[in-house]
Amino acid sequence: MRIGLYPGTFDPVTLGHLDIIQRASALVDRLVIGVAVNRDKGPLFSLEERVAMIEAECAVLSEQTGTEIIAHPFENLLIDCARDVGAQMIIRGLRAVADFEYEFQMVGMNRALDASIETVFLMADARRQAIASKLVKEIARLGGDVSKFVTPAVNDALIARLRD
């Protein structure tokens, strides 16, 4: 069984993330969405809420693609998470050259830790390259419309959270 791990904070999950998830699901039999705790980023949504969003958004994708897609929260090293879920590959999305520089360093470190786990890069769809969770949250905080960047359910969750 080919198992891939697509890690991120997903705070919140965007249409860019979902594009990568859909395309990655064609490469593997099981796609594990690693939802990182990452306290340094100060998430808007709790870990449990982010996992629930991923599960809700990926349920339909899983049915459509026939690939098992599961959410897996983690707080350890990415390479350890990959080992924990039995992943042979780590899947990363790239939006721009700046992403590549950081990801290139991460690949080098991960290969030094475990050379048996490959990293696969998927370029963001041209229509989704500008989408970043950080920017989506900022636009929403300032009252802007983010419905072009997230699903209706995530949009509703953002509005409700920022209203509180």
Residues marked as catalytic: 17, 41, 95, 133
Return the SS3 of 5. Answer: strand
What's the CA gap between 61 and 104, in Å, rounded?
A: 29
Cβ–Cβ under 8 Å, residues 127 and 95: no
Beta strands, E only, 11-117: 30-36, 68-74, 89-94
| Non-local CB neighbours of 155 within 8 Å, separated by 6+ positions | 146, 147
Give the separation between CA 133 and CA 149, rounded to whole angstroms. 9
**Amino acid in the structure at residue 99:** D
Which token pair is 96?
């721009």
What is the distance between the alpha carbons of residues 4 and 1, in angstroms, rounded to a whole number?
10
